[in-house]
Structure 1
Amino acid sequence: MMEPEVDPSCNPIQPLYQQEGDNGLNRVDSAVPLQPATTDQQGQGQEDARNYGIVKAVQYGAFGRVQELVEGGYDVNEMDRENVSLLHWASINNRIDIIRYLIDKGAVVDRFGGDLNSTSLHWATRQGHLSTVVLLMSYGADPTILDGEGCRCIHLAAQFGHTAIVAYLIAKGNDVDMIDKNGMTPLMYACHRVFGYDPTRMLLTFGAAVNKTDNALGNTPLHYACLTGNTCAAKLLLDAKAEINVSNHKGQTPIDMAVAAKLPNLVKRLRQISEMRGSGKSNCLTRYTSDKDFRKRVMWTFPFIALFVVGYIPEMTAPVYMKILLALLAFGGYQICRQFFFDENIMNVIPLPLYLATKVWMYYTWIAYCLPYVNSMKLNILFTINTVLLTYNFVKAWKTDPGFIDTNREQKMKTVLDLAETQTLTLQEFCSTCLVHRPLRSKHCGLCNKCVAKMDHHCPWIDNCVGANNHKYFIGYLFFLFGMICWCLYGCKMYWNNVVPFDFYEEGITGVSYKLLKNSPWVTWIAVNAAFHFCWVGILLVCQLYQVMWLAMTTNERLNAHRYKYFHPQHEDEDKGVGHSHDDGERCKHQPKSPFNRGPLSNLIDVLDISFFGLLRPNKVDWKNLYDVPGKPENLLRRMRLNVARENYQFV
């Protein structure tokens, strides 16, 4: 007789959980994990399994012993002395083959058991066993049943942070705002107990109500986030326009709870948003400070005025006291802007207008100060060509879709179901915000709030992501921007050579600096700005070319290479004896190698997408739909389907 096949993902003699002694508790969260078996124990496993009782055989995944006892007459629905069924123990230990066998033999799927009076599906959900959840539901398990604590499966998945299971349950038709016996929603549980962005972020993407209150306390999700100091969840809720001044049954607002929890930063943030929304104390500027668009216009205008004022006040032919007075007024204006109009988005908004302002005043300086001393027509023509190409590449990098991955709701639900059935619904392959299957080399951008194909990084200087569609424009932008800066520095030097000649050897750095500032503070100020931009643009351009040509990596991949398994093929590591793991959070100690490297010249041609009469041929890749490394075997998990029926799936 052939030996029954055992689930390969589980140690056949080592269960994840077992009953704790004779008086063990049946609460799922109190089940005791066993220590890993020693080599001697593993060698004796098959022999020892013959003596297992039915419960222990199920826990340890000893399929042959389970089959022997059941065929010998054991009732699969018999409860043990702790009022727990065999299906419960198989579910908490993720024993897929045994679960199938027990149900085929008549095990009741939705039978209640244990101290929590919950079903096998509840147990599997608490432990985060997605494959078991998928299998049980394919056999008709009902995720909407209340357990002894009044929770449904979606509430358990949310409060234990099992994002993949939450996604699967919603894709199967569970209401994202389903309530438990106390009127609490999954979002409330996530904000209360999960100190991270997921699954809160995913529930919000599914459209969870941010201002719904529970029946028992009248708390909103923001109340629960403030109650426990969950700043990650609070930030997501505030971005989703959650109400700040809602009172619960005790008359407490989220701000009151944050104060009671002694969270000064969160309290400050809540009060700022309250004022911006016009709910706080009003003043003469409230009308404008509460207007998000007006604040953004102020942040956009500020760099143009600031760069002009800093250079123009010293340039003025006015008494010193007048310049000091104007400087004080300018500083006061800055303080007003900082206090009332600059918000938490300042560092994301201001780089682009700062670049544009610097560029405008550099060109003004070239025309007004430098051009009269650059008498070469050839140089002026080259400067004009560089300007046109810089403007073109900047606009294209700024406005081009970098490769955003967009799908409709039905496709998102189908993606969740497909990944769940193929056992690949993990945060490495699934974006819990966009609800899409992440293509290879893609990444979710928190600022754009979208997944980007072959994402390099989000660049605040172009207010856009750099990805598959605009990477070539970004490199062109850096190249011609570097050229423009060099032209500006050259023009300033020509101006100084003709207007205020200097000699470092004779006058020293201090003497030359004083001389230049006294003669034309404006030109000196622009030259200092140009020198600053010369440094960072030059470094960034060199880094980009190095990554593209020699490493064949994006910036994201270079910084996070240890996270991406396609840089560390497992079979190569085993052959070379490199002992490392990508699942324990530790960085690999060897140099990652890109499977996309075709040589420096070919790599550059691929990114720049250059074709030339067949001599230069870029490798065309649809990065939005690439999920496996070309030339490598397809992920085996994608072919290991759980073979569940699809007829009862509803895409909602």
Structure 2
Amino acid sequence: MAAGGGPAQCKNHCHGPCRPHTCSCHDIHSDKDLSTLPGLYPFVEDSDTCDIVKATQYGLLERCKELVEAGYDVRQPDKENVTLLHWAAINNRQELVRFYISKGAIVDQLGGDLNSTPLHWAIRQGHLPMVILLLKCGADPSLIDGEGFSSIHLAVLFQHMPIIAYLISKGQNVDTTDFNGQTPLMISAQKVVGPEPTRFLLKFNPSLNAVDNVQKNTALHWAITSGNTSAVDLLLEAGASMDIKNVKLFLLLASSLTLMWAVGYIMDLSSDSWLLKGSLLLLILFGMTVFMRRFVGLRNLRYLPTAFMLSSVFWMSLTWFVWFLPVHVANTILQVTVVFSIVGLLYYFYKTWKTDPGYVKTSEEEKKENIVALAEAGCLDFRTFCTSCLVKKPLRSMHCLACDSCVAKYDQHSLWIGQCIGIGNHHYYVLFLFFLTMTGVWLLYGTLLYWSNHCATSYRQDGAWTYFTQIIYCSPWVFYIFLLACFHTVWASLLLIIQLYQITFLGLTSHERMNLMIQNKSSKHPVSLRRTPYNLGCFQNLADFFQCGCLGMFKPNVIDWTKQYNLFHLAKEKNLHSV
């Protein structure tokens, strides 16, 4: 299919300029000095000898004006039925387009082998500024070319996301049909390999049940028949019931609880045959793997670490109350402290998981207005616009691939929470880590006291190896819980220390710190992690993070990071604090 145009030498060795109806070259370098690029037509030094077609391709405005004033009809097509407006559009020659239209050029004139308009040519090449100009000049995006595609179908086919967004924002229907009755979503599912632009189109709420005129297929049918597995997953997810998803997550948690109990139960068997126990463990693991793949689904397995952590907390808590409580029944302070730690852990896990992390939200109309404004200002790129969420990116935001959303003041996507950590739930996440660390420490303390009271061995008398083997035989289940407590205490405490360091001394998120560290490795002028606009000093950083005035000693800065786009007032605040 097409793509290429202008005077650039075609990579497919067509021995001439790329034309959208003859070759598939995508790189025409139309916005660069063509005379300096290797492999291109040599630049015509004497522009007075250029014919008007070549002058248009090279963007020689004065030469084109001279020839038009001499009597050349701008509506006249060349021998290939291609007009000057087509050549100007495909090479992104905006001044020439304005000039030709002012001289009577027909903005929607059909031409070329594919019977396309200049707008079709500009879209195939991905020239958003030219698309904006042609639409302002009255181009009709609903016209269909010789292959049966309208403008939005071509933008989808060539995966030009900003153009798709702009066309829809300017009123083009996301369910516009081509000559065969196929919608852009069907085209994407059938002919575009990979998740984009299918994921992108789903943001505009297209019809999932529309069928084409010929095969009577939906977008899902086309994705299946074409073997486009990524599109199949996206379409199924878009139409799946939330109730089914919740059932699968419940099955995942129940499976994790059962598996962890089975592992501990097998370890606690009275049999001394570790070969038998190992065989049973392998059998249980194999059966649980088959069950999860069949009933939970591979996509939901991303929540497996969360299920594992919650299951661990459940069995650790049960072990404390059944095994350790009788040992410490007289120690009321210890019992209250342990219960407080467990309750705090579960509460802050729930708050972290359920609280909006700071998703950048906007209405359908605001999305379209932002797209038009950014496109016409020449800023519709990945630095300022998220093509997945269709929103202008706020300062310190990041698009999370796991959640498929932009998150304000993004820190990370937590493996253990199964949720993004951002401005809305970051402080809950830190408190969750604190209480998980405390719970793990109390469990470790409880196991050590349990072994000292129930196991006939001593580390000082018997040595490390004898002590280790005896405590395993004394109570394999308690040893199993001890290992779980060790694991969760280690990772939770390390993450807690890192988080507190970043928050207090740097004023940065995990994502920002990692980005700066990566940039410093390749930069000749490294930037200090402590010298950023976000670092207002240790105490002010903590006051801002927890939104706590510390009995009036500090005044927390209240900033809506979902709508913060510049550093001006942040720098002003920092200067005020430094005075």
Letter in 1 for 2:21: R
User: Is structure 2 residue 391 aligned with structure 1 residue 436?
Assistant: yes
Letter in 2 for 1:608: F
- Structure 2 equivalent of residue 281 of structure 1: none
C-alpha displacement of 1:292:
5.2
Whole-angstrom CA distance in 2 between matches of 1:219 and 1:89: 37
Structure 2 counterparts to residues 413-452 of structure 1, below 5 A: 413-452=368-407
Whole-angstrom CA distance in 2 between matches of 1:614 and 1:29: 70
Structure 2 counterparts to residues 490-505 of structure 1, below 5 A: 490-500=445-455, 502-504=457-459
The question of whether the paired residues in 2 share the 8 Å contact of 1:25 and 1:115 is answered with no
- Structure 1 equivalent of residue 114 of structure 2: 116
- Structure 1: state its 5+ residue gaps: 1-13, 243-276, 278-289, 569-577, 579-586, 634-652
C-alpha displacement of 1:306:
2.9
- Structure 2 equivalent of residue 607 of structure 1: 545
Question: For residues 156-185 of structure 1, what are the alpha-carbon distances to aligned partners after superposition, in whole Å with 9 as ceiling and x for unaligned?
Answer: 111111112112222222222222222222
Q: Go from structure 1 to structure 2 and tell me whether the alpha carbon gap of 1:502 and 1:617 turns closer, same or farther (over 3 Å shift).
A: farther
Structure 2 counterparts to residues 567-586 of structure 1, below 5 A: none
C-alpha displacement of 1:403:
1.0
Between 1:607-616 and 1:416-425, the stretch displaced more is 607-616
- Structure 2 equivalent of residue 63 of structure 1: 61
C-alpha displacement of 1:605:
3.8
Q: Go from structure 1 to structure 2 and tell me whether the alpha carbon gap of 1:199 and 1:220 turns closer, same or farther (over 3 Å shift).
A: same
- Structure 2 equivalent of residue 368 of structure 1: 322
C-alpha displacement of 1:452:
1.8
Out of 292, 295, 301, the position equivalent to 1:341 is 295
Between 1:589-598 and 1:421-430, the stretch displaced more is 589-598
Percent identical residues: 40
Between 1:342-351 and 1:487-496, the stretch displaced more is 342-351
Structure 2 counterparts to residues 333-482 of structure 1, below 5 A: 334=288, 337-338=291-292, 340-374=294-328, 378-482=333-437
- Structure 2 equivalent of residue 33 of structure 1: 28
- Structure 2 equivalent of residue 597 of structure 1: 534
Between 1:347-356 and 1:173-182, the stretch displaced more is 347-356
Out of 128, 131, 142, the position equivalent to 2:129 is 131
C-alpha displacement of 1:524:
1.0
The question of whether the paired residues in 2 share the 8 Å contact of 1:26 and 1:82 is answered with no
Whole-angstrom CA distance in 2 between matches of 1:424 and 1:562: 27
> Secondary structure of the equivalent of 1:458?
strand
- Structure 2 equivalent of residue 298 of structure 1: 251
The question of whether the paired residues in 2 share the 8 Å contact of 1:222 and 1:234 is answered with yes
> What root-mean-square deviation, in Å, do the aligned CA atoms of Structure 1 and Structure 2 show?
3.9
Whole-angstrom CA distance in 2 between matches of 1:30 and 1:359: 58
- Structure 2 equivalent of residue 257 of structure 1: none
Question: For residues 244-280 of structure 1, what are the alpha-carbon distances to aligned partners after superposition, in whole Å with 9 as ceiling and x for unaligned?
Answer: xxxxxxxxxxxxxxxxxxxxxxxxxxxxxxxxx9xxx
C-alpha displacement of 1:550:
5.0
Q: Go from structure 1 to structure 2 and tell me whether the alpha carbon gap of 1:476 and 1:292 turns closer, same or farther (over 3 Å shift).
A: closer
Structure 2 counterparts to residues 224-303 of structure 1, below 5 A: 224-241=222-239, 293-303=246-256
Out of 511, 522, 526, the position equivalent to 2:466 is 511
The question of whether the paired residues in 2 share the 8 Å contact of 1:109 and 1:141 is answered with yes
> Secondary structure of the equivalent of 2:568?
coil
- Structure 2 equivalent of residue 620 of structure 1: 558
Q: Go from structure 1 to structure 2 and tell me whether the alpha carbon gap of 1:334 and 1:114 turns closer, same or farther (over 3 Å shift).
A: closer
TM-score between both structures, scaled by the size of structure 1 = 0.74
Letter in 1 for 2:454: V
Between 1:602-611 and 1:394-403, the stretch displaced more is 602-611
User: Is structure 2 residue 154 aligned with structure 1 residue 201?
Assistant: no
Structure having greater relative contact order (Cα 8 Å, sep ≥ 6): 1
Letter in 2 for 1:233: A
Q: Go from structure 1 to structure 2 and tell me whether the alpha carbon gap of 1:50 and 1:480 turns closer, same or farther (over 3 Å shift).
A: farther
Q: Go from structure 1 to structure 2 and tell me whether the alpha carbon gap of 1:340 and 1:24 turns closer, same or farther (over 3 Å shift).
A: closer
Whole-angstrom CA distance in 2 between matches of 1:371 and 1:92: 78
User: Is structure 2 residue 490 aligned with structure 1 residue 535?
Assistant: yes
TM-score between both structures, scaled by the size of structure 2 = 0.82
Question: For residues 497-544 of structure 1, what are the alpha-carbon distances to aligned partners after superposition, in whole Å with 9 as ceiling and x for unaligned?
Answer: 232264446544442232112212221111010011122212322333
Question: For residues 310-348 of structure 1, what are the alpha-carbon distances to aligned partners after superposition, in whole Å with 9 as ceiling and x for unaligned?
Answer: 334554679989x97997996686366336433213423
> Secondary structure of the equivalent of 1:465?
strand
- Structure 2 equivalent of residue 171 of structure 1: 169
> Secondary structure of the equivalent of 1:350?
helix
Whole-angstrom CA distance in 2 between matches of 1:431 and 1:133: 20
- Structure 2 equivalent of residue 571 of structure 1: none
The question of whether the paired residues in 2 share the 8 Å contact of 1:201 and 1:432 is answered with no
Whole-angstrom CA distance in 2 between matches of 1:143 and 1:102: 20
Whole-angstrom CA distance in 2 between matches of 1:332 and 1:74: 78
The question of whether the paired residues in 1 share the 8 Å contact of 2:547 and 2:556 is answered with yes
C-alpha displacement of 1:50:
5.2
The question of whether the paired residues in 2 share the 8 Å contact of 1:158 and 1:189 is answered with yes
Question: For residues 550-609 of structure 1, what are the alpha-carbon distances to aligned partners after superposition, in whole Å with 9 as ceiling and x for unaligned?
Answer: 55443344555699xxx89xxxxxxxxx9xxxxxxxx76875667443156144443333
Whole-angstrom CA distance in 2 between matches of 1:419 and 1:97: 21
Whole-angstrom CA distance in 2 between matches of 1:305 and 1:22: 69
Q: Go from structure 1 to structure 2 and tell me whether the alpha carbon gap of 1:73 and 1:502 turns closer, same or farther (over 3 Å shift).
A: farther
Structure 2 counterparts to residues 557-568 of structure 1, below 5 A: 557-558=512-513
The question of whether the paired residues in 2 share the 8 Å contact of 1:550 and 1:599 is answered with no
The question of whether the paired residues in 2 share the 8 Å contact of 1:15 and 1:61 is answered with no
C-alpha displacement of 1:109:
0.4
C-alpha displacement of 1:297:
2.5
Whole-angstrom CA distance in 2 between matches of 1:123 and 1:39: 23
Structure 2 counterparts to residues 307-346 of structure 1, below 5 A: 307-315=260-268, 334=288, 337-338=291-292, 340-346=294-300
C-alpha displacement of 1:139:
1.0
Whole-angstrom CA distance in 1 between matches of 2:233 and 2:562: 30
Whole-angstrom CA distance in 2 between matches of 1:632 and 1:605: 15
Question: For residues 88-116 of structure 1, what are the alpha-carbon distances to aligned partners after superposition, in whole Å with 9 as ceiling and x for unaligned?
Answer: 11111112222222222222101112222
- Structure 2: state its 5+ residue gaps: 572-579
Letter in 1 for 2:86: H
The question of whether the paired residues in 1 share the 8 Å contact of 2:6 and 2:17 is answered with no
Number of matched pairs: 552
Letter in 1 for 2:56: V
- Structure 2 equivalent of residue 644 of structure 1: none
